[in-house]
Structure 1
Amino acid sequence: MTEPTHPGAAPGTPPSQADLSRERIVAAATALFAEHGYDGTTTRTIAAAAGLNVATVAYHVGGKADLYREVMRRAHEAERAAVDAALDGFGARAAADPAGAAAAFADRYLDFCLEQPHVPALWMRRWLADAAEFAGLEEEYARPLLESVRDALAAALPGVPPERAELAVWTVLWTVHGFCRSVISAQVPRFRAHLHGLVVRELGIGDGW
């Protein structure tokens, strides 16, 4: 999480107490929403985890719904930045080594999820119908990101139709998110090798993976 600063503050200005309190609240809410879901978390438990009272939480972030939207927005921004960087690497390598490029893309997404496990946890909660009243988040965040990856794969890999590329993307999402929730860190190398083979098979490219 980046260091908080007041929107009008000059670069390098120390964060205000209000900024620090807000970041504590968001950090606490992120951990709780990821672990227990939106429906299983209350404003009171968020306040307790942040070491603040409920009134202070409401003052800095509004209600629980406002806080959930902020948590999901930040998770999406982090995921989008990681995916964009991975797509740049994929595009630079795909023509010469399509299978290697696809495997490297999957690698980078796995690394992102291992480094920020709250992101797959938040989305898996939603797959289980958590926070059902926020139905628009998939269309606002998940769908455009998935489509950008699908289109990049289909454009760079001749013979891979968009529908096959999209299924490959979903397969990577389901598999990586599930693995990251299992917290079996000793199995990361083995899972990584499995992921390489999985993605190239789903795309129908490469040999020997």
Structure 2
Amino acid sequence: MAKRVTTKEKILNAAEALFAEHGFEQTSLRQITADADVNLASVNYHFGSKKALIQAVMARYLEVLMPALEQELLALQARNKISTRDVFDCFRKPLAQLREVRKHGPTLFLSLLGFAYAEIQGHLRRYTMDHFGHVIEHLLAALHQANPQLSPIDMFWRLHFVLGATVFAQVSGPALREIAAADFGETIAADQMIDRLIPFLAGGVDASAA
């Protein structure tokens, strides 16, 4: 017997699909309620606001990703010598686990993350730090362990360049994969782009200061 989808789940599913395709700012509650086939009162009852709904959509992924990432980072930090590539490789398994949330979970999450970053959703940053700040601290500690020569301000800029490159790769991914197939004969799945992205990101963080 199929599991009955609750009203709350219908709202989350509709919001997730619309947010991943159009972004947070361009998606209205009216669109979400229409796709979920519920009324606005249901959204207000279950979430209270659009910001809270956005956080709930992201939470479904973060609650799977962050604990898994923390385990990977703690195991890595126990080693005497680590590289930036090692740190970024810690994201591979946790991202793959997002398929437990959705079949195309990794791609959906990165799309949502891209819109969150590009549209400057400050409330999401606060939510993430409030609930998973300790994981971010482990990530920063591991990166400093791999790059003790970098000052905090250098690390700040490089990590935001990493985020920017990741967002661009995700948002432009479909077009880039089409060009790669047409011009170079390479067929690559969305999830496989990380194999090309991680070495590039690590190289950027490791680069000598100008």
Give yes or no for TM over 0.5. yes
1:116 matched to 2:106? The reply is yes
1:98 matched to 2:83? The reply is yes
> Which one is further off, 23-32 or 146-155?
146-155
Return the alpha-carbon distance in structure 2 between the equivalents of residues 106 and 59 of structure 1. 35
1:81 matched to 2:83? The reply is no
Unaligned runs of 5+ in 2: 99-103, 178-186
Taking a change above 3 Å as real, the CA distance of residues 157 and 41 of structure 1, as seen in their structure-2 partners, is closer
Listed one character per residue, the Cα deviations across residues 90-139 of structure 1 (whole Å, up to 9, x for unaligned) are 325x53553652452364577578742333323322333365xxx34324
Q: Give the share of equivalent positions with the same residue, in percent.
A: 23
Q: Given the alignment, which residue of 185, 188, 206 partners 1:186?
A: 188
| Aligned ranges 1:1-209 → 2 under 5 Å | 20-92=6-78, 94-96=79-81, 98=83, 101-102=86-87, 104-105=89-90, 107-108=92-93, 115-129=105-119, 135-141=122-128, 144=133, 146-155=136-145, 157-181=147-171, 182-183=173-174, 184=177, 186=188, 192-193=195-196, 195-204=198-207
Let me know the Cα RMSD of the aligned residues: 3.8
Are the counterparts in 2 of residues 147 and 166 from structure 1 also a CA contact under 8 Å?
Answer: no
Q: 3-state DSSP class of the match of 1:117?
A: helix
TM-score by length of 1: 0.65
Deviation at 1:199, TM superposition (A): 0.2
TM-score by length of 2: 0.64
Return the alpha-carbon distance in structure 2 between the equivalents of residues 44 and 130 of structure 1. 22
Q: How many aligned residue pairs are there?
A: 186
Q: Which AA in structure 2 matches 1:186?
A: I
Are the counterparts in 2 of residues 89 and 105 from structure 1 also a CA contact under 8 Å?
Answer: no
Unaligned runs of 5+ in 1: 1-13
